[in-house]
Structure 1
C-alpha cells in the first residue's frame, strides 16, 4: 500500500491516467498506463515497428491517440471486471482520462491506496500497468477479501471435481489380458501357418495379468462364461507390488 500523495508525485507529465468506478462500491479507482508503453502501442497500432524513441515530456495525446488508448483501457477494465466476479461482483464504469496527475484527486493525499502492478512485455519494450484502488473503497468487503474468497474458490473446486469424476466414470477404457509370451526367430515367424501351436511362458493354472490402458491392474484366471471367453479377477495389483 502507498499514500495517494506519494503515488501522485511519482507520476510524470503527461501520464495516461484513467479513472473508473466499481459499483456498487463507493468511490473511484485509477488505471495507470506507462506513458512510454502507450506511445509504443500507438506506434504499433498505426503500423510502426514499436522500436522508436518517443519524447514524452510536455507532449499531449492527439485525438486519434486518445481514441486508441481508450480502446486499450476498455479492454483492460473489461477483464478486470471478469476477474472480480468470483470475489465480489462489480460493474466497472469508465469515468474519464487525465494526463496531469494533479487532476486526479480521487482521495486525500494521506489516504492509503492498494496498488497492483502488471508487467507488459512487447517484442522490443517492457512497460507497466498499475491499478490503484483506495483502501476506503474496499473496506466494506475486506472480510470477504480476507476469508470469503478462499471459501468460494474451494466450493468451486469441489463442484468441478464432482463433474470431473462423473465424466471419468462414463469414459471407455481398454482392458487387455495377456495370456503369455514367447520368443521366435524371424525364420520361424515367417514359416507360421494355420494350425501351428505356440508354447507360451505361462502354465494353465498360472495367474494372468489384466492391464488397463497398458498398466497392470489385476491378477486372475481365464475361463469361459457361457459361450464367451472370460477373465475372473483374483486380486488387485498394488502400486507398490514388487516385480
Structure 2
C-alpha cells in the first residue's frame, strides 16, 4: 500500500459511511497495515457479519432442527429423547378399543376415541403447557408404588357434562369462564375418570396386573407435583368425539412410575392376541396323549441302616413284609398312578389294576380361576 493511498483512506470523513468499493479496499488493505506496524498476522479483531453470527449460533433461516449446529445445537440437546416402548403403544391401543365400548354404554351415545400421540416430555414443561381451566386427576398405581396424572381439557369437561345432562347433539358445549368447577361437576367427572382407570387396568392386565385408584382431583397444576420438573414422563393424548362435541385427554406416566415394568415394555409384540393360544394347546395335548411314559411297579419299600447296606454280600436275603396277594403301587416317576395286584399271564408277570387312576385335580380352568382370584 502506498503513502498516497493511506492518506486517502485516512482522509475519508469518519461520519460518512464508506461506499462498497471503499469498504472493500479498506478490508483488503488492513492486513498490510498490521504487518507494517509489526503486529502478528491475524491479530486484528473485525466485526462479524450477520450471516456468520447466525451460523455460529445455529439460528440460520430455513434450517431444520435436525440440521442446526453451534449454540442452538447445544440448547436442543437438552430435549427429552428416550427409547421407544413398543408394548406401551399396544397397551394404549387396547385402551382405546375398551374406552370406545365403555363410554358408549356409559353415555348411551356414540363416542369415538382416537389415540393422537405418545411422546416423551419433561414434567415441568408439560405442567407449564396446561391451559386453564382444566381438570387434573392424580391416580396411584398400587403395585408400582407411584403416581400418574390424567388431564381433561376444559372443552372435553364441558362436553362430558353437557352430554350427561342431556344437551343437544351436534352443538358445542357452552363454556363458562371465570368460575371454578362445582362439586356436582367434579363428582360427575370423577365417575368418568374411574371408568377410564378401570379400562386402563384391563389394558395393562395381560402384561402386568395393576390397580389404579384416584388419589385426588385438582384444578391448579401447582398442586399435582407428582415428579420433579426436570424428570421425564410419557404423555399419551386421546381425542374424544361425541357427535360434534369433545376434546382432548392426556395421561401422564413418569418414567419412575413405569420403571418396574420397563423390561416388559421393551419387548417386541408379535400378533394381536394377548393371552393363551388354543391352537398350541390342542397340539400340545395331542402330543401328550401319544407320549410313552415308563410305569414302575413297586412291590415293597423298607428302610435299613446304612451300616447294614454297606455289609450286604452276594447271597444275602432281604425279607419283605408283604404277602403274595398284597396290593402294589404303580408309579410314574415320583407320582403314584394307581394300585394293583401281582399275577401271571402265560409266561409273563402281570399287574391287575384294582383302583381307578388318580387324575390330577388341577385343570386349566381351575388354574385360571385360582390365578384370577389371587390377582384380584
Normalised by the size of structure 1, how large is the TM-score? 0.61
Which structure 2 residue ranges, 5 or more long, are not aligned? 1-119, 285-376
Q: Tell which has more relative contact order, 1 or 2 (C-alpha 8 A, sep 6+).
A: 1
Distance 1:65 1:164 in 2: 52
* 1:11 corresponds to 2:104: no
Which structure 1 residue ranges, 5 or more long, are not aligned? 167-243
Structure 1 position 156, deviation (Å): 2.8
* 1:41 corresponds to 2:160: yes
Paired residue for 1:26, among 125, 138, 145?
145
**Correspondences of 1:74-85 after superposition (within 5 Å):** 74-85=194-205
The answer to whether the Cα contact below 8 Å between 1:32 and 1:131 also exists between their aligned partners in 2 is yes
CA RMSD across the alignment: 2.5
The answer to whether the Cα contact below 8 Å between 2:172 and 2:244 also exists between their aligned partners in 1 is no
Equivalent pairs, count = 164
Rate the CA distance shift 1:155–1:118 in 2: closer, same or farther, 3 A: closer
Rate the CA distance shift 1:160–1:32 in 2: closer, same or farther, 3 A: farther
Bigger Cα Rg = 2
Distance 1:35 1:18 in 2: 13
Aligned to 1:118: 238
Structure 1 position 70, deviation (Å): 0.8
Aligned to 1:203: none
Task: Please state which structure has a larger fraction of its residues in helix.
Answer: 2
Task: Please state which structure has a larger fraction of its residues in strand.
Answer: 1
The answer to whether the Cα contact below 8 Å between 2:173 and 2:245 also exists between their aligned partners in 1 is no
Rate the CA distance shift 1:56–1:5 in 2: closer, same or farther, 3 A: farther
Deviation per residue, 1:115-159 (Å, 9 max, x gap): 111111110124111110000111222111112x738977835x2
Q: Which runs of 4+ in 1 moved over 6 A?
A: 151-155, 163-166
Aligned to 2:94: none
Normalised by the size of structure 2, how large is the TM-score? 0.40
Rate the CA distance shift 1:63–1:87 in 2: closer, same or farther, 3 A: same
**Correspondences of 1:1-243 after superposition (within 5 Å):** 1-49=120-168, 51-147=171-267, 150=269, 156=275, 159-162=277-280
Deviation per residue, 1:159-204 (Å, 9 max, x gap): 23346889xxxxxxxxxxxxxxxxxxxxxxxxxxxxxxxxxxxxxx
